[in-house]
Amino acid sequence: MDKGIGAHKTREDHKFLSDQLYYAYAEGKTVQGTAMVSGEKALTSTDKLYLEFVGRFEKEFINQGYYENRDIETTLNIGWELLAILPESELTRIDPEIIKNFHPKYRK
């Protein structure tokens, strides 16, 4: 998969975004398990954001419609919109310069 990412292939944020999305999804699934065992009252405010992220990631990113023809630019932008659910301090797998260039908070 990584061979299709990089200079002159896709946007400079692609690898960082991909790594962070995978991490956030895994973290969110862990939080889902915790919520099932301990209940949502045991979750922190950040845990609850990860739950929101997981739900929206599955619905908006993974479950692309059969007839939906999304280009890579649109897909990357959806990824950023989803990561914007989380506090910026959670985006530890993305270079701060990349965050400043692509995070929706800074594109306004």
Residue 7 confidence (pLDDT) = 65
Mean pLDDT of the chain: 93
Coil, helix or strand for 19?
helix
Per-residue pLDDT reduced to its tens digit, 20-50: 999 999 999 999 999 999 998 899 999 999 9
How far from 43 is each of 50, 57, 97, 100, 102, CA to CA, in Å?
A: 10, 19, 31, 29, 29
State the pTM of this model: 0.90
In the chain, domain spans: 12-107
